[in-house]
Chains A and B, each alone.
Chain A
């Protein structure tokens, strides 16, 4: 299944963030909330089981100057293999001149899944972005398939963060220099001008990025432990 969806949010003269373009294509169904306010709330609903092997999904999001968007998931995503063994892919591209919070629910990389995920964000000088990714390596008792997930964020074309994480299929999952045998890995990226103290514990850290912004990372054996760390930022 190939699908592309598009969402455009801009500020109206009354100071409300308004959804100007909303183009859903199954399984990428965008559900806006009918309430006027400074922040537009849209839920991203997977209206068909996705991603399956062979799927290519693309979501484009544009948020204009002064506008704010809260884009949320409603359920965990299960990455599943397709009938042919073909890989699946997803691309989410943000162009932000206002403010975006992108908070999907956790992603479970099931056995034999083979997926490539890319999130790209281009921010202008004052734009803000908060985005979270929580990966679960396999369902209970299941070894994960393979996933390569990439996040690239730039501000006015200059790189802020570019990280790829590859899980499954290599001995690096168990390595103390890879995923250290942890089942859940979460990151929260905050691109704004709020200074946050560098902090950390045994399996988590909050660090300032070189060119501005903050990254929180947590690893653990369950989703609750990891999301508790990310929620606290």
Chain B
């Protein structure tokens, strides 16, 4: 449980703070401008990308074959920008984790693994791993919204607290999900092509 708390803490030095999960592109297009549109964005992200990531974290925590999971998650992530963002965050988390929680299973991960697999291996309990992953799928974009749009932090926090993160984590433990989000894929690809100043890596 403590490992899950540390990984979900925004002060964990895994480099997750440079990723907005598509929020920066959505904000740049005026698709997210206020608390209601942010709630809609986070809700959609939780039910698609959040469920998918949480399912793979749970499977890794159950001890399933990491190479198989890596290939299956690649197949469920058609956007190269999304694959790169997931692996960049996995690499950052792995760097910090190798010092804090060295293990044979952690050492078996590739240099840039998908982040949900790292979370699953570290947390080791399927539901807690899924919950950590589902929460991170919305907490990063939520804090990005505060920075990019100047939204009220209390209001944004209340939105995150009311999202059905626990229900999604429980569903993620049932079977390996394959839910895609075409809009998130298109936002991620457009973010990479966007010229000019970008505050976030995704």
**Distance between Cα atoms of A172 and B29 in the complex (Å):** 18
A146 at interface, CB cutoff 8 A: no
Stretch from B8-16, B153-161, B185-193 that touches the partner = B185-193
> Chain B binding site: helix, strand, loop or mixed by DSSP?
helix
Q: Which of A163, A170, A178 contacts B178 (CB 8 A)?
A: A163
Do A163 and B44 touch across chains, with their CB atoms under 8 A apart? no
**Which residues of B are in contact with A by a Cβ distance under 8 Å?**
22, 26, 29, 31-32, 37, 40-45, 47-49, 71-72, 74-80, 83, 177-187, 189-190, 193
A147-184 CB contact bits vs B (8 Å, 1 = yes)? 00010100000111111111000111011111110100
Give residues 180-233 of A contacting B (CB, 8 Å): 180, 182, 185, 187, 198, 200-205, 207-211, 215, 217, 219
4 pairs of A and B residues whose beta carbons are closest in the complex: A175-B44, A178-B44, A177-B44, A159-B75
B80 touches A219 (CB 8 A): no
Q: Shortest beta-carbon distance, B202 to chain A, in Å?
A: 13
Tell me the dominant secondary structure on chain A's binding face. Answer: strand
B41–A176 touching, CB < 8 Å: yes
Contact of B42 (CB < 8 Å), options: A158, A163, A177, A204: A177
Starting from the known contacts A185-B182, A207-B78, 20 additional A-B residue pairs (CB-CB under 8 Å) come to A160-B75, A161-B78, A162-B76, A164-B179, A171-B43, A176-B31, A176-B37, A177-B44, A178-B48, A180-B183, A187-B182, A200-B190, A200-B193, A205-B189, A207-B79, A207-B189, A209-B78, A211-B75, A217-B185, A219-B186
Give bound CA distance, A162 to B187, whole Å. 20
Q: With a CB–CB cut-off of 8 A, which chain B residues contact A211?
A: 71, 74-75
Number of interface residues of A (CB under 8 A): 39
21 sampled A-B residue pairs with Cβ under 8 A: A159-B75, A160-B75, A162-B72, A163-B78, A165-B179, A166-B179, A175-B40, A175-B45, A176-B32, A176-B37, A177-B22, A177-B45, A177-B49, A180-B31, A198-B80, A201-B190, A203-B186, A209-B74, A210-B83, A211-B74, A217-B186
* CB <8 Å contact, A217 and B78: yes
Contacts of A219 in B (CB 8 A): 182-183, 186
A125 to B83, CA, bound (A): 24
Q: Give the shortest distance, in Å, between A172 (CB) and chain B (any CB).
A: 4
With A and B bound together, what is the CA distance between A170 and B167 in angstroms? 14
Q: Which residues of A have CB within 8 Å of B180?
A: 163-165
Taking the closest CB of chain B, its distance from the CB of A162, in whole angstroms, is 4
**B184 and A165 form a contact (CB under 8 A):** no
Residues of B within 8 A of A175 (CB): 40-41, 43-45, 47, 183
When distances are taken between beta carbons in the complex, the residues of chain A under 8 Å from B44 are 171-172, 174-178
Interchain CA distance A176-B186 in the complex, whole Å: 10
CB–CB B182/A165 < 8 A: yes
B183 touches A178 (CB 8 A): yes
Determine whether the beta carbon of B40 is less than 8 Å from that of A210.
no
Of chain B, the residue at the smallest CB distance from A210 is B74
Cβ-defined contact, A177 with B41, below 8 A: yes
Q: Given contacts A172-B48, A203-B186, A205-B186, is CB(A177)–CB(B181) below 8 Å?
A: yes
Taking the nearest CB of chain A, how far is it from the CB of B48, in angstroms? 6
Across the interface, do A178 and B189 meet the contact criterion of CB distance under 8 Å? no
* Contact A179 B77, CB 8 Å, known A205-B189, A207-B189: no
Chain B residue numbers with a CB within 8 Å of A208 are 80
Alpha-carbon gap, A209 to B76, bound state (A): 10
**A179: which B residues are within 8 A, CB to CB?**
182-183
Closest residue to A185 on the B side, CB-wise?
A: B182
Which residue of B has the minimal Cβ distance to A170?
A: B47
Known: A176-B26, A180-B183. A200 touches B48 (CB 8 A): no
Q: Which residues of B contact A162 (CB under 8 A)?
A: 72, 75-76, 178
> Residue of A at shortest CB range from B141?
A177
Nearest chain B CB to A3 CB, angstrom units: 26
